[in-house]
Amino acid sequence: MKKRDTRQAGFSMLELMVAMTIILIVLGLVMTLFARSLSTRQRESSRTDALTAAQAALNVISREIANSGYGLKVEADGISDNGIVYADSGAQKIHFRSNTTNDNIVLTDRGEDVTYYYEPGTKSILRYDSNGVGPGQPQTSIVINRISSLAFLYFDYSGVNPVPTSSTTPTPLTGRVRVTVTVNLEQVQGQANPQNVVLVSDVTLRNSEYMLQQY
């Protein structure tokens, strides 16, 4: 009788190399998909954070501008000023006043003489308060950074049924201000990054001549 061969056949070197190659390819594909998923998450997280901060800043700016002219001295015709300092306002800056505390006729309280403007060097929107620290003691603070641009457009109203005219220069007839903020989104490597996002807010000046005539 023939002796039975009890030895078990194993993998050859070639088979082992093929198996390892296949495993490495599969691992590479998995790592690529995982890295891409993390990159997408980072992009969306960065986008959400930037837009949330920009929207919050735009809301603060809009709220303060809307109060422009509040509590100011009523003119002889019974109409108060809209509060905008025309000579110091333009396409990238707005300077306005309001008597928000309403305890005196002198605008010496915080938030009563404010300027918003864009600083290209730091890509930030700055808020300058003439009485931020105290009467006659100005304070400059950063509202938000990573901003590409800040723009103001002024709409004037005149007549009974006016058709508003827009300009980059405010006048005593200005009754609405359009604030445009362009957000500079962070670039994420390996992603098709979106373009900058533009946020717009149309602010009605409740104390302007046109608006007061509506009540």
Give Cβ neighbours of residue 56 (< 8 Å, ≥ 6 apart).
Answer: 144
From edge to edge, which strands make up the β-sheet containing 113-119? 93-97, 113-119, 124-134, 137-144
Cα dist. 194→74, 98, 167 in Å? Answer: 49, 39, 30
What is the C-alpha separation between 130 and 110, in angstroms, rounded?
8
Task: State how far the Cα of 174 lies from the Cα of 192, in Å rounded to an integer.
Answer: 42
Integer Cα distance of 145 and 178 in angstroms = 20
Query: Any idea which of 115-124, 184-193, 197-206 has the lowest mean pLDDT?
Result: 184-193
Domain parsing of the chain, residue ranges: 43-212
Evaluate whether 100 touches 109 at the Cβ level (below 8 Å). Answer: yes
How would you classify the pairing of strands 93-97 and 137-144?
unpaired
HEC string of 72-125 equals: CCECCCCCECCCECHHHCCCCEEEEECCCCCCCCCCCCCCCEEEEEEECCCCEE
Beta bridge partners of 181: 150, 199
What percent of the chain shows pLDDT beyond 70? 78
Instruction: Judge contact between 95 and 84, C-beta under 8 A.
Output: yes
> Distance (Å, rounded) from C-alpha 87 to C-alpha 99?
20
Tokens of 74: 């009523």
- Model pLDDT for residues 8-43, shown as the tens digit of each residue: 556 677 777 878 888 888 887 877 777 677 666 666
pLDDT tens sequence across 125-140: 999 999 988 888 999 9
